[in-house]
Each structure stands twice: as C-alpha cells, then as structure tokens.
Chain A
Amino acid sequence: MAPALCCNCKTERALIKRPKNHAKLCKACFITIFEDEVHHTINSSQLFHPGEKVAIGASGGKDSTVLASVLKTLNERHGYGLELVLLSIDEGIKGYRDDSLETVKRNAVQYDMPLKVVGYDELYGWTMDQVVETIGKKGNCTYCGVFRRQALDRGAKMLGIKHVVTGHNADDVAETVLMNLLRGDLARLSRSTSIVTGDSRSEVKRSKPLKYSYEKEIVLYAHHKKLDYFSTECIYSPEAFRGSARGLIKQLERVRPTAILDIVRSGEDMARLVPGESPSSCACKGQKSAVVPSLEDDIGGCASQNGRTPGGEMAAMDKQLRENETHEAVEVDVARAISENKAGGEKEKALPIRSSHGTSRGPTRQVLGNCKRCGYMSSQEICQACMLLEGLNKNRAQIQI
C-alpha cells in the first residue's frame, strides 16, 4: 500500500486517521488541528476569562496529562492569561499512587506549573487502603469515586481556586450518556452532557475542555508529542469489560468511528427533550442555559478509570431497578424513586450508589443545597461522601469493639 499523504499539508506522510471524519493527517498537522479544536471548544463555550486561576485535575494519566499540555500550549499561543495549577488527589493506595504521583511531579516540572497534592486521609480521615480493609474490594470504586469528586473541589477551595478542569473526553461523555439511558436517569442525562457544571452559587466551577476529543486522539497526541504519562489498572478495580458501557463504546467505534461523537450529540439533543428542561441549551445563544448545577455525581468513576464505570455498576443497577419494580410498579426516574423510597424510612442499602435520605425535590432539576455535615454542595441533606463516611465510621467502631 503506497503511503498516504496528509490531506492537510499534502506533503508529509499521513500517520493518523481521524475517527471523527476519516481525515488522514501527518503528525504535525494532527497536533496543530487537535489543539485548534480544543481552542475552538474553549472559545465557543467561553470556558475561561483572562486572569482566571484554573486547577487542572491531574492524575498522571493520559487524559489529564494531555489536558495540561494542551492548556499550557494554548494559554501561551492565544494569550488566555490563565494561571494554571496542577491539582492531584492521593487516594492512599499503596503502590498505585506512588508511581502516578511521581509522573505528576515530573509534569509539574515539565510544564512549569505549581502542584498541589491532597490526600483522602486529610480530607476524610480514611485512605482507600483503609476503606478496602473495612469493606472489602467489592464496591470500593464507589467510595473512591465519590470521595474523589469532592476532593478536587475541596482541594481547589484550599488553593483559593474557583475553576477545576478535568480530562474527561468524548468517550467518557458518551459512556455516561449510555449509562444514564440504561439507568433510566433523565435528570443526570441532561446534566452529564454539559461542558460546564456548577453555577454562580457553587463555589467551584467544573469544566471539561476535552469533551469533544476522542480518547483515541488523546492517546495519539500523547504518543506523538512523547508526553510523559502513567498508565496502570487501579489494583482494586475489578476487570469488568463484559457488559460495561465502555466496552460497548469501543466496539461501536470500531464499527463506525463517528459513533462516539454521535452519542455525545444524541445526549445533548435528548437533554433538551427531558420534560421540564429548557428547550434550548445552546451555548452560543446564552451562556446561562449551558451552565447546569454540578452535583457530586455528574460523571462516575475512579482515578484510574476516569469516568468509566466500575465493573459492579450493571449488577448494582439491576438490583436497584428490581427493588423499585417491586416497590412502586412503574417509576421511571430511578434516582428519584430511590430517594422517595428512602424518605419512607428505609435502611441503608449495601451499595448506596445514588441513595441518600431524600429531601423532596422537583422532577428534573435537583434543588441544590449544602450538606449539613460538611457544607459541600449537595442535592441532599447529607452529601454522598458524608453518607459513605458514616457507614465506614460505624464499621470501624464495630471492628474496634
């Protein structure tokens, strides 16, 4: 096969075939176009303002490393005037974070950015190793994910930063769309596709500048720019490709590479079809409508899995749905159904992924308040992290007895 030429510069050998449009590009053109597209997203969604202090949620993995690299490049190239900081979370998993934290430390030097590491132990009084000791490996991803989401916000607050960017990519968003369809959670479906979460009332705004970037291109960008990133499976994460939405997405990509962005598109469009949602959430027509409240649950996943659903998710979902079926025959909004059931004075479930003692709230938009215990923004009286902590602390007390 004669080597194909780059369709952009028409001189260099093409090394990349873009999933979104089959375009064949050489290395240099690919890197430029990839960066240009992120720049376009940042512009069209008006993600930043000059002088803004922005924390990059950095795990040392490919997505956040690419995000840091691209933001540094664009900040300099286009004069965003951003003050970029790397913010890293230490879950307290021996032998896992050690290496990835080393990577983040090197990144801090490479990109000339300050680094702040916040540990679960300082934030919650528990390391993940201790959590696993107490509850076992099953379900620990839930704890890790819930703790992690708050950890970034709390870390940012400690630094006096009001904007956290994360490396969530198009594959992550597409996965969340499918998961929310499977889960039947329309409220979260409409929230999860938003590029920015957190409104004026929340202390920390979240955004995902790589929302439209294919994971494949992120990996290729890191490869061709020879970025220093770290990849390993979280040692506590179960190997669960089977039945996972992630595996499904990758198979769809193989059949039709555009499918990933097409799912993102579907998710955005369906968000407008959720009863009670504003008919147009067009970012270019009005910033306000594009900004939706960020809750602790907008994208699931743990540090290593970054947005991907942990293995037990489907089983837990099925179990919950079954319980709902036996309760009130047909209730569609699972999250709501659970919180309503809970309000009826039910005991803890083994794996309270979305459950908590429900305050009654509107059908789609959840009413934001603050957790009574920690003050963190939450749709419930007690936020998820505090709920989980309560269970853990009870367990610890029992073990000590």
Chain B
Amino acid sequence: MADASESATIPITVDFSGGLEMLFDNKRRHSISLPATDVGGKPANIAFLIDHLCRNLMKDPRAELFVFDGHIRPGILVLVNDADWELEGEEAYEIQPRDNILFVSTLHGG
C-alpha cells in the first residue's frame, strides 16, 4: 500500500471563490498535498483533483453544488495558474508542483 510512488505528493494551492468557499470550511485558500498519482498509477490531473477535493476537503454535504454527473458543475470556472482550464486541457491537465487551481462559481450572487 505504502510504496514510494503512491505516497509521493504534489504541493499545490487550491482557491475557492464566488460562493464556493462555503462548501470548503468558508476558507478561500487551501494548501494541500495532492497524491502524485491516482489509484491506477496515472499522474494526478484535474479530474482526480476534483474527486480528491470532494472526498477529503469538502466540509459541506451538498457536493451537488460543486459536481454534477461526476464532473464539475457547469457554471463553475476553473483557472489553472490564472488561465482558463479550457486552454490547458480541462480535466486532463496534469497537475504540477506549486500549481494554483482556482474554482470560481458564477452561480451565486449578483
């Protein structure tokens, strides 16, 4: 279970805004250590991060405000180091050390 490659982690920061912070302990910025690979041994990507956040970081039971049908809820923007994730390959983007991933909801607040 605890072999070297599995226990390796990537240090990243994850930010939530636009109302999403309320799902994550009302904290905007989280510094986390993300496992470097998923269970299948593939390098951690955004899809894996989203799953990881739902399992480990979310304090609110209303996961459906963050994910929908197994993907990020449409209407939530994802920025990878300030760039729209659509420019970075979306869920397939492989996370690098010290990346900043920002989730902004457009669904809240006028």
Contact = CB atoms under 8 A, between A and B. Distances in A.
Q: Do chains A and B touch in the complex (CB under 8 A)?
A: yes
Interface in A69-105: none
Contacts of B68: 241
Interface stretch (A229-237, A281-289, A329-337, A378-386): A229-237
A308 B19 CA distance: 16
Contact of A17 (B87, B105, B108): B87
The 10 A-B pairs of least Cβ separation, nearest first, read A306-B110, A231-B109, A250-B75, A250-B74, A61-B109, A254-B74, A61-B110, A231-B19, A15-B83, A17-B86
Interface string A1-27: 101100000000111110000001001
A231 B17 contact: yes
A68 interface: no
Interface of B: 17-19, 22, 62, 64-65, 68, 73-75, 77, 79, 82-84, 86-89, 93, 102, 104-110
Interface of A: 1, 3-4, 13-17, 24, 27, 59, 61-64, 167, 171, 215-216, 218-220, 223-224, 229-233, 239, 241, 246-247, 250-251, 253-254, 301, 303-308
Given A62-B18, A167-B110, A231 B77 contact: no
A27 B81 CA distance: 13
B88 A1 contact: yes
Contacts of A63: 110
B77 A220 contact: yes
B62 A239 contact: yes
Contacts of B107: 241, 246, 250
Contact of A216 (B65, B77, B89, B102): B77
Contact of B110 (A216, A247, A251, A303): A303
B74 A15 contact: no
Given A15-B84, A15-B87, A233-B19, A305 B110 contact: yes
Given A14-B83, A59-B109, A246-B107, 7 more contacts: A1-B88, A24-B87, A59-B110, A167-B110, A223-B104, A224-B82, A306-B109
